[in-house]
Structure formats: C-alpha cells, structure tokens
Amino acid sequence: MNVDRILPTDEAHDLLDLATELADRELAGRAAEFEQRAEFPREVLRTLGRAGLLGLPYAEEHGGAAQPYEVYLQVLEILASRWLAVAEAVSVHTLSCYPVAQFGTVAQRKLLPDMIGGELLGAYCLSEPQGGSDAAALTTKAVRDGDDYVVSGTKAWITHARVADFYNIFCRTGGPGARGISCLLADRNTPGIAPQAAERTMGLHASPVAQIAFDEARVPADRLIGGEGMGFTIAMSALDSGRLGIAACAVGLAQAALDYAVGYARERQQFGRSIIDFQGLGFGLADAATQISAARALVLAAARLRDAGRPYSIEAAKAKLFATDVAMRVTTDAVQVLGGAGYVADHPVERYMREAKVLQIVEGTNQIQRLVISRALAKG
C-alpha cells in the first residue's frame, strides 16, 4: 500500500523515493535467503551508507544529511517494510553514532564521517547478562591505568557483536548507581575484546546478536566520551531516540504484514468469494490498518517534538509501546488470515510474526515503557 505522507521539504520526498528504490532493489529480494542462511548483509549497510541513508539525522559537517528526525524515521519504516534486520541494523548503528556526535570531543568527532558513511559499523554495549532493564546496576568495570582504561566484564544481547567495527562500552568507573557510569569508545581489534558465539534467536536470523567479554581490554583514555560519570546520561538520551527508531521499524513491519495479508485475502477464494469480502476477516484487516495509522501518527508526533527541541521521552515511550504491540498483533493476525499457508516459510508472514516479538523487548521492554509513562503520570 502506498502511504500518503506529509513531508516537510521536497528534499525529504526525494530521500524517501531513494529509500524506496534501494529497499526494493537491495533488500526485498534478499531477505528470505539471508535470513535462512543467518548471514549479516554487511555490504547492504555499506550501500545504504554510501547513499547517505545512515547519517540522515546528523550534521552535514560530520558527513550527515541534517534531516529532521521525522524524515529519518520514515526512511526506517520503508526499510523495515522490506527487511526488518536491515532497518534494525540502521537504527542500532544510528544509535551507536549518537554518543560521539552529541558528546564527543573534536578529535573523537573526526571518526564520524566513516561512522556515518557506513564504512565503520557500530555496536551499543549497555545490557549485561544480569542486568537489562536495570541499566544503572551494570557491573562491567573500567579502571584508569596511566593513559588507558582497563575494561573487564561481560555485555549481553549486543546487536552487531560479531561484525561491528567500534563499540560504545557503558562501564563503571566510579561508585554504585547511575553516577558511577561512563562511556568508552573502543575499536573492534582492541586486545581483550572477545565477541562470543551468536545467540540462536527466534527471529532476525541475519542480525548477529551475542555476548561480548572484556578481559582487561585496554581502551585509550582519550576515548572517554563526555567525561567520567556521564555514561548513564548519554545512554538514556540515546535510548529516547533509539526507541523511536524501533517504533518506526515496528510500523514498517506491521505495514508489510498487512499489505501481504490484504493481497492474499483479495486473491484467495472460498465459498465463491474473495475471503476479504467476509466481514469476520475484512473487519480485522480494517482494524489493523487503523492501528498502523495510529502507530505511525504517534511515532511522528514524538519525532516532531524532538525536532522542535522539546521534551519527547514520554512520547517516545508511548510510541515504542504502542507501535511494537501493534506490530505483534498485526503480524499474528496476518498469519491467521493466510491460515495454514501462513504457518509455512513459503510466505513471509511467519517470519514477520517471529520478528515482531523482539521489537517488544529491545530498547527497553514494553513493561519498562509502561513504567516510564506511569511514573510521569504519577508526577503530574
């Protein structure tokens, strides 16, 4: 389905046209094969980077396109509607560039053109085996030793763990709690950094997720981002933006599932009629279309607050919560529309359903989003 969009500039229209062209040419026809092989499409990310689609929200002086976040998120939506693993990779990489772009030194920002251009792929190392939602309790330590920090600990559920060129490491340089956390930028070839075997995930098989062990890895002190004790602030600020990225991915995935289900329901004949003409099924598709439009509107409303420089973290939580729940519901219903055909890999909706689940978990579980929203309500 063609989505009728209101965009801020003619340039934004051109960018979405470019994203659609690349998504159709580079993503749509490869997704099933790469997912089956569990192979990460690194060259696709380079292609998107060289086309300027990995640096859309970042400043032109750093190699970005200086686009509003609402434009970037709609590009993500288009990519996700063709191949979620690639869209999620773009979202995670954009998140990984954020600490340096927003808090980095002049010297650190010299890395941004290669990061934003896709030559260097990033990973965001926050979660740990015993601490996902409670990020302030992380235990990975970094001890200053001369001109280096010596990092020890383990990170978990790290997207791009086995393919990244740089890592944002959130680690403890001080006392307990949020104020003792700092952020270090490490190169992949740093001795003592050891990505572990890839996790065997329900979906997103083309996206490498793994633990990373840090065994006295020495990271130069000039790779400290934002100063000691700034790590938690950096992490939470980045996650507000990252939640919108995941929400946009959810909208794109839900739209893909709806489009496929509608196409199937138009063609499938039962009792002498197309099954979409039966109200029990057609009304469900109507509800799905409405929910997707509502999710898209929530995502864009939060993005426009961000673009206006206004507080948006609560709206980002609402958007992430609603959009990912919608994606789970719509993809599940799409499988049901196809009946037995929906349960086999000949049709993509079974993959969409498996992929949707992770969107309710990453960048803060939906239970955490509800906690964020309810606390805001309690404070008034």
The residues that are catalytic are 363
Residue with tokens 């740089």: 166
- For residue 361, the 8-state DSSP code is T
Closest CA to 127 of 116, 118, 138, 117: 138
Pull the structure tokens for residue 32: 């099933």
Closest CA to 371 of 328, 324, 321: 321
Pull the structure tokens for residue 293: 């439009």
Helices (H), 117-156: none
How many Å apart are CA 104 and CA 108, to the nearest integer?
Answer: 6
Residue 342 CA: distances (Å) to CA of 30, 39, 244, 253, 332: 20, 24, 29, 16, 9
Residue 66 backbone zone (phi > 0: left; psi -120 to 50: alpha; other: beta): left
How many Å apart are CA 294 and CA 118, to the nearest integer?
Answer: 32
Residue 245 phi, psi dihedral angles, 5° rounding: -65, -45
